[in-house]
Amino acid sequence: MAVHETAQVENTTLGTAEVREYVTIHDADIADGVQIYEGASIKKATIHGPTDINANVYVENATLGESVQVGPNASIVGVTHDLSDTGMEFRNDTFDEIAIENGAFVGANAVVLPGVTVGENAVIGAGTTVTEDVPAETVVRSATETVRRSL
Residues acting as catalytic residues: 81
Rounded CA separation 127/36 (Å): 20
Rounded CA separation 65/98 (Å): 11
